[in-house]
Amino acid sequence: MLQICLVGDQVLRKKAKPVKSVNGSVQTLLDEMAKIMYQESGVGLAAPQVGISKRLIVVDVGDGLLSLVNPELVSASGSQLGMEACLSIPDVVGEVQRYATIRVTGLDRNGHRVWIDAEGLLARCLQHEIDHLDGILFTDRALRILSDEEVAQRNEVVLD
């Protein structure tokens, strides 16, 4: 049974290893990660967050589940400032500057190369999850951490 690793766990600070081939065990892991992400009301989850140092992420910002193996940010432009949180860092919300428009490549759950052009929340979420694969937490990039009162006053989507 996989569980969310919390800040302080060393796996969150390690660069995750590439997945050599997409097989049944990788697909099962992606399914388990998605299940946990939905149970915790998150919009993204990286394998290191469940204690597995592999380059796997799942994302769903409301457009359906996206599972990526060995995702890479290949191009980016513009900037956007937004609120982020993380299932591995409970009760912390920060303002993070991210690229506004990105292109990501990786393998889908069947091992086929995919290219994703993203903007807005999807771009933010993909960058957040890919950071996890490199041992980077959103708090490392946060311009500032918001107080509970500031979070309550804003009506923005918070990224988990």
Q: Tokens 């951490």 identify what position?
A: 145
How much is the pLDDT for 32?
98
How much is the pLDDT for 159?
60
Per the residue annotation, which of 32, 40, 84, 129 is the catalytic one?
A: 129
How much is the pLDDT for 157?
54
Q: Compute the distance between CA of residue 155 and CA of residue 83 in angstroms, rounded to an integer.
A: 10
List domains and CATH numbers for the chain: 10-153 (3.90.45.10)
How much is the pLDDT for 147?
87
**Residues near 150 by Cβ (< 8 Å), separated by ≥ 6?**
none
Q: Compute the distance between CA of residue 48 and CA of residue 87 in angstroms, rounded to an integer.
A: 12
Q: Compute the distance between CA of residue 134 and CA of residue 88 in angstroms, rounded to an integer.
A: 15
Q: Tokens 């807005």 identify what position?
A: 120
pLDDT along the chain (160 residues), means of 10: 95 98 98 97 97 98 97 98 95 96 98 98 98 98 91 68
Q: Compute the distance between CA of residue 65 and CA of residue 13 in angstroms, rounded to an integer.
A: 26
Q: Read off the DSSP letter of residue 19.
A: P
Known catalytic residue at 129? yes
How much is the pLDDT for 156?
63
Query: Beta-carbon neighbour count of residue 102 at 10 Å?
Result: 22
How many residues make up the chain in this entry? 160
